[in-house]
Every structure is written in structure tokens, then in C-alpha cells.
Amino acid sequence: MTHWHLFLAFFRVGILGYGSGPSSIPLVKNEVVDKYKWMTDDEFSDVLALGNALPGPIATKMAGYIGWQVKGVLGMLNAIIASVVPTILLMIVLLTFLNSFKDKPWVLGMAKAVVPVVGVMLAVLTVDFLKKVNAHFGVKLTIGLLIASLILLVLLNIHPAIVIGVVIVVSLLSKQEKQEVKEVKAS
């Protein structure tokens, strides 16, 4: 039954994740963490960070990794196929249909309406992750990492994979430092 659930989970993401990979991230989280409980929030955050650091479409990378975690190689293939097939089918059908109506106001409005919805979904996911990071590292380190990440990404135009690597190293060092402080207090 797990292969069927794996297929359904990523098929739903593929059907509903209209727009791009980032729009499907909250949908993947809902299926994987909330509905089927194949991963915890922390594990999902790790998969998301790893997927963002690697080249290629995020939804496919996440589907492949999560499918592999749940059911091995067959699970990986199942999840990738389930996430890609709806997109292929929808592109063929919708592009054929919408191409004949591409200049109509309702089609232009439909395309513009997707952007704020995706923005809200990503904002909710970001707030959720910030709460978890704050719980683990505290307000000062969370704000510091957030500001440093923005500076590195926006002002210095550094590749996101490098920023993610730096944040991981800082987080691990902070976690190790807190562990050492706990050990000193315990003894």
C-alpha cells in the first residue's frame, strides 16, 4: 500500500503544484510530514536545504529522495514518475487549450492570480521554519543567520548552495558550543 500512497502523494503535488517548483514545496510538506508522516519537520527541512543546494528542479529532487527514503529505488522511481507525469499531461492539454485563448483577459488574470497564492504559501512555510530555527538556536542566532543570508544572497550575489553550506557550518558549531556548555554545567 505504501507504493500506492507514495504515488498518490506526489501525483497530487504534481497536479496541484502549478507555477514552479517552489509552489509545490508546501504541498510536499503537507503530504510527507503532515499526512503520511514519512518524515519529521526537521528531516523535511534537511531535504529541502539539500534540494535547494543541488541543481535542477526542486520538486523532482525532493520526490526522488523522499521516495528512496520511504521505499528504496522503486519508491524513488515511483515518486519521480508521479511528480512528473501530471506536469507533462497538464502542459500538453493546457498549452494546447490556452494557446487559442492566450490574449483573452480571463487567461491573463488566471496567470496573475497564481503569483500571490504561491507567495502566501511560501511565506507560511518560511514562518514555520523560522519558528523551528528560533526554537533550536534562539532569537539572536536566528536573526543573525537571516540577516547574514540576505546580505550574502542579495548584496554579494553569492550562490545559494554556498550560503546554505555556511549556515549549516555555523549552525553545527553553535549546536556543538551549546552541547559543551550543557556538559560543563552538568559536571
Q: Which of 75, 100, 125 is the last residue of a domain?
A: 100
If asked whether residues 148 and 118 sit together in one domain, one would say yes
Contacts of 182 (CB under 8 A, 6+ apart): none
pLDDT recorded at residue 66: 95
Q: What is the pLDDT along the chain (187 residues), one digit of tens a residue?
A: 789 999 999 999 888 876 667 778 899 999 999 999 999 988 998 898 888 888 888 888 999 999 999 999 999 999 999 998 887 887 788 788 877 887 888 878 887 888 888 888 888 888 888 888 778 778 887 888 888 888 989 999 999 888 888 877 877 787 777 777 777 777 6
What is the pLDDT at residue 87?
Answer: 79
Residue 81: predicted pLDDT: 93
Residues 59 and 33 in one domain: yes
The Cα–Cα gap between 153 and 178 comes to 27
Q: Does residue 89 sit in the same domain as residue 169?
A: no
Confidence (pLDDT) at 18: 67
Q: Are residues 118 and 174 in the same domain?
A: yes
- The whole-model pTM stands at 0.58
- Residue 32 has a pLDDT of 94
For residue 20, the model assigns a pLDDT of 63
Quote the DSSP letter at residue 31: I
Number of domains in the chain: 2
**Which pLDDT score is estimated for 3?**
92
Residues 1 and 64 in one domain: yes
Are residues 65 and 144 located together in one domain of the fold? no
Instruction: Kindly state whether residue 106 falls inside one of the protein's structural domains.
Output: no
Non-local (6+) Cβ contacts of 57 within 8 A are 21
Do 75 and 131 belong to one domain? no
Compute the residue count for the chain.
187
Do the domain assignments include residue 77? yes
| Per-residue confidence (pLDDT) for residue 19, from 0 to 100 | 60
Convert 51-65 to b/e letters by CB count within 10 Å (16 or more is b).
bbbeeeebbbbbbbb
Range of the domain at 42: 1-100
